[in-house]
Amino acid sequence: LGFEYDFQAIRHYGCDSHDAAGEMVQAMEIMHADISKSHSNPLRHLKFWNPELAEIRRAMRFFHEQVRQVLRHMRARGPPTEADFSIGAHLQRVIDPRTGKPLTDEYMLPEITAFLVAGSDTTSHTMSFASWLIAAHPHVEARICEELASLGLLATAAKPIPRAVEWEDLGKLKYLNAVVKETMRLLPVSAEVGAMDCDRDVVLAGHRIPAKTTIWAPIFLFQRSALLWERPNEFDPSRWMQPGTEYAQELKGGGACAEVAAACSAQRQEDEGGEERHRPLRYAPFSQGPRSCVGQPMAELSYKSALATIYGRFTFDIDESMPSDPSKIADSGIIALTLHVKECLLRPRLRVREK
């Protein structure tokens, strides 16, 4: 699926703080935290006397060497076979239109870096948040189990090991997909992402924004805005069972919500004759447009299949260290490039379902 390279993360991580897998994770955590700090203070790297910067530079050197090691491994394996559908194989097949030849190391290294960084913790954090929210809402878990049972994916006393999730199942897991969407609305791992450049003058909430201005719209804020969502802080997967939920729309009650809806309608009229994608969005955990998350399809495949497999076999309790109120979960989180919690979220009950 990735680069056919074994970091031995499962085999050794946690056993020796000096193993490559452990150092790789630590290096990425340090770099992620640095990126978030640099957002608020772009000049922080000029403080060369700061010992924290030396740690960051060491982490970056180690990480870049690991990326080069992955590339050397890919090159040593030779040209990919037709049956190799890994990301690394696809990158090796890409032809540079300027030269007519495969990508050089100069272009391959940033691509490998992007996949390793963007895919290192985003999907796992989303699944952790989803599991916490499901555990806090037993009726949601019950409905997930009903859906899994209807497809033969739920463990029972008669069949303690259900069949494996198949490709055809993913499109049928509509409620599970709604649960993950609602999780990503409340707790988007890319919580800070949302920068865009205006290609023309824009009037936003009565304020004129000149062309070529960069607007920063944190996803965490507008996906919880009372101007855009009814019951914005409530975990309600059923809202996603209606088509078009991701688009901005008029809310009940009028007021400021009506003003937002009117602005959205005006935008639709201005773009009339264009494609559907021009409709204003109120939900964009993967961002939107030509520079949206390149790993979105793989992330969706991963969390659907993984959660279906896990919940077909296990259930979870919320650990005593975690809040039981879903509205308080953000208080337990930190942002270090991605939104994640300070401590562990859940504790599995290792028993097969009896029903």
Give the DSSP H/E element, type plus range, for residue 315. strand 315-318
| 326: containing domain | 122-189+293-349
pLDDT value, residue 277: 47
Angle, CA 311 vertex, CA 310 and CA 314 arms, to 5°: 80
Choice among 15-29, 63-77, 142-156 with the minimum mean pLDDT: 15-29
Instruction: Encode pLDDT of 84-134 as tens digits.
Output: 888 889 999 999 999 999 999 999 999 998 888 777 678 888 898 898 899
Strands (E) located in 153-296: 195-197, 202-204, 207-209, 214-216
At which of 118, 142, 166 does a domain end?
A: 118
Residues 106, 49, single domain; the answer is yes
At which of 85, 118, 151 does a domain end?
A: 118
Q: Is the pLDDT of residue 201 over 50?
A: yes
Residues 130, 182, single domain; the answer is yes
Instruction: Encode pLDDT of 124-141 as tens digits.
Output: 888 988 988 998 899 999
pLDDT value, residue 7: 74
Could you give the CA distance from residue 136 to residue 17 in angstroms, rounded to a whole number?
34
Please indicate, yes or no, if residue 156 is contained in any of the structural domains.
yes
Instruction: Encode pLDDT of 225-263 as tens digits.
Output: 888 899 999 999 999 999 999 988 766 655 455 555 555
Choice among 229-233, 266-270, 289-293 with the minimum mean pLDDT: 266-270
Give the DSSP H/E element, type plus range, for residue 108. helix 105-118
This prediction's pTM:
0.77
Please indicate, yes or no, if residue 355 is contained in any of the structural domains.
no
Residues 127, 113, single domain; the answer is no
Residues 91, 21, single domain; the answer is yes
Give residues with Cβ within 8 angstroms of 118, minimum separation 6.
293, 294, 295
